Amino acid sequence: QIDCPVLLVYAEGNIGSMPPLFYLTDYEQTRQSTKLIEIVISDCNHYTMVFENRNDINDYMAVFLEGIA
């Protein structure tokens, strides 16, 4: 059981003509195992989430970190 605050950033965007790599339902076990989880959804895909500077994700992380500081 995970009992520290967790931020799950979900990338719902398609990868070209392909669907997202994962769906929110794929994280059900993570959600059940984590007591303090916050989930945010970005319209980017998994690749742009990693390789681009995403202001929306940066903002999500800043608010999350401020809330646990």
Which tens digits make up the pLDDT trace of 35-66? 999 999 999 999 999 999 999 999 999 999 99
Identify the pLDDT of residue 6: 96
pLDDT of 69 above 90 = no
39, two tokens: 């989930």
Query: In the predicted model, what is the mean pLDDT of residues 13-30?
Result: 94
- Given a contact cutoff of 8 angstroms between Cβ atoms, the answer to whether 34 and 54 are in contact is no
Distance, in Å, from the CA atom of 26 to the CA atom of 33, rounded to the nearest integer, reads 13
What is the model's pTM?
0.86
pLDDT of 33 above 90 = yes
